[in-house]
Structure formats: structure tokens, C-alpha cells
Amino acid sequence: MPNFSTLISIGLKDELLATQVEASSTKAQLEGEVALNGRLRTAISDLSVSWELERVDESREVARCDALVDQLCYLGATLRDRVRDALHIGVKRAVAVVCSGFSYDMEVVSHGFVTDISKTDAENEERLHALIDDAEVLGERLAKLFEPEVLPPETSPGVDEGGEGRDADCGLRAYSGC
């Protein structure tokens, strides 16, 4: 029959082994998160560069997950502003195209789609969708004319430094936190 000190020794040994397994698992998880952190920084940096945005000085922000959140918030707000600006530029260019050779009351045009008061809302909605469908190809052609004014130049993922090994989706997956 084992004595008390042997039982304690066996219990401690089992506990030590379990702790080592847990530590190894935690280390692997941390290494994965550090790698993901690096990939996120690269993706954010690539987006910032492609949209000609100011880069964040990472030397002051080293290993701070909050810095990634700050960068993403800045990037999101800036891109939203740019998309809004692009929308306004596109609409103004389309109006200019219409004004360049067509005779319409542009004040009326500036209020959007004209509804037929003799029709129901559903009928007007159906007409609106039919007009949008009819304008799809022509609108795409006109939009392509103005793309260089509103879009940054395309970059090819994986071509620049640090791009090796990135998936088509930049390797970003759902992430639970920092």
C-alpha cells in the first residue's frame, strides 16, 4: 500500500503534467494570436497604403491590440468618407453627362425618380425597379469612365513585401479578441 508521501508525489506529478500540457496549449494559442496580429497589421497597412492614408507609427504602438482597433476605426471612418465622396462625384458626373447633351429640367432630375400619381406605390416601385434594371449595363459603362477619379490603383495581393503566403481572403478569420 502506498504511503501518504507517495500519493502526494503522484498527485503533484499528475498536476505538473496537466499544467505542462495546458502551458503548451496556451503557448500555441498565443503564438497563433501573435501571428494573426502580424497579419492584421499587414492587412491594415496594405489597405492604408492602397488608399493613400497616413500610416500609424507602430513603433509607439508595439504589441498593443488597442492600436489595431484604433487603426481599423480610423480606416473604416476614412473609407466611409471616401465612399460618400465617390458617390457624390459619381452623381455629379452623371448629371453633367445628362446636361452635356440632353434637355431635361435638372431641378426635377435632382429630386430623384419621378412617380406617376395615377399609379399605386407598388406600381411605381415596380416601374422604378424596371428602370434600374434597364439602366444596369449603361450605368456600368458610365461608371467605368469615372473609376480612375474615385478608386485607388489596384494592388495585387502577395506581390509586395510581406505578401507571401497570404490567402485570397488575406488569411483573416473570425477573431475572438486580443
The predicted model scores a pTM of: 0.51
Q: Residue range 57-67: average pLDDT?
A: 62
pLDDT digit string, tens, across residues 91-127: 888 888 888 888 888 888 888 888 888 999 999 899 9
Cα→Cα distances 159→8, 11, 143, 162, Å: 59, 55, 28, 8
What are the structural domain ranges in the chain?
A: 4-150
Local structure of residue 164 (DSSP, 8 states): T
Among the residue ranges 2-11, 39-48, 51-60, 162-171, the one predicted with the least confidence is 162-171
CA dihedral sign of residues 158, 162, 167, 171 = negative
Cα→Cα distances 25→30, 31, 99, 143, 154, Å: 9, 10, 66, 52, 40
Average pLDDT, the chain: 77
Give CA–CA dist 39/175, Å, rounded. Answer: 12
Task: Report whether 74 contacts 81 (CB < 8 A).
Answer: no
Burial 132-149 (b: 16+ CB within 10 A, else e): eeeeeeeeeeeeeebeee
